[in-house]
Structure 1
């Protein structure tokens, strides 16, 4: 039991399961460590850490930040070893959460304009009880459950992703802001799934260059939806720029996003390399 998963979501953002259950499931899948990386929130980290001690599983405090780049292109940046204090990063996450709430309400209004009736308060109660960080994934799952689409990916492709009828912008950090915030907090900044979510490989590389100049620490090279060639290319990118090579399954718990282990498994030595690099930012 030496494998790790460094990209895991809970229902603190758009995952299906609460932090305690996520940790329990990780242990059942024989993982040694996981990183809880919810979207733009650290709400679930304390519960996850507590469960980690109970189940003897290392929980790395993380976050997945949504960034905006120039012409409204977006990317995701993983932050690892996020502290539990109420610093500037947490203040920024609160601002993002409020923006996400307004965005969700706007999406519900747009769905209504397209003939799909949903009650926002009922959605929050069912899919994100007690949380303010409900996301598009929850709305996608509601569309599946109500029979408007067959899969959550179809919900995004038809209604929710950029350029579709119900997409709505919200406040996002710039690459420079995000890397600086993570480093100020003593954490590491890693580009998430470079092979997914970009309009083109060229655009991804443009964003990668911005992150690199800002002090990027690593690339999520190992990812279930990367092709073999993409994995080789991103591995070389990391090596060429002396960056960490990390990996994770982007676990959410929904069908299609319920994989726990990478193939081949990612070894704990990756975590050890991350901890070594982190020392240059750790102000404690």
Structure 2
């Protein structure tokens, strides 16, 4: 993942991989069904679809004059909702997630904090046995690569805030340890008393506390790194790119939109992106 400096803070850019594409054929079949115009298609598999349906050939279609005409001349975009793309997004931020979720017509599955915070909580519990608790916590969290920020000076601010919030909770909650550590791992606390490194290793190798994030999600910041899988139909993808691949958009979501567009096949972009249409 590339690194870039914004506001004198160094950030990592997200990585995007195209997982699947449905093709344009279903969208053309849908359009031809509306107009009963199968015989006018330049694609033989569409022309003969009502007599002999070759779904493999239909899903391999790379171009459609009808879809282009409907998209750019008549602005009839509902037809292209039948074409979908799925992306694996790695290393964007929870701040981007909040912006991204405003795009209603998408399927989105996001890395859960409920089930994936145990290493952070283990690091804090182990830090209680360290002579310099924050120093141990800070160095341990650096190894987990949890943030889109890679600037170590700024990370110290982020991680200090997390540490302070956990410390505040620990001092007020008599059940903190029981909520943080699986029952089968509780003996490790006595076994490795005074040895933060050994305790952290033992907690990490032991059973993870189920839903550990439920009691600790308040520590998460907008710069917390998340992975997600998103699926858009290309009408919704057009709206996403129009709004987010724009100088008016927040820089982190611009980076994501740029990375998504970079892995989107040209046959779809020709229907939804003016720059690619003009190159066609």
Range into which the TM-score falls when normalised by the shorter chain? under 0.3
Give the structure with higher Rg (CA).
Answer: 2
TM-score (norm 1): 0.24
TM-score (norm 2): 0.25
Q: Which structure has greater helix proportion?
A: 2
Greater RCO (CA < 8 Å, at least 6 residues apart): 2
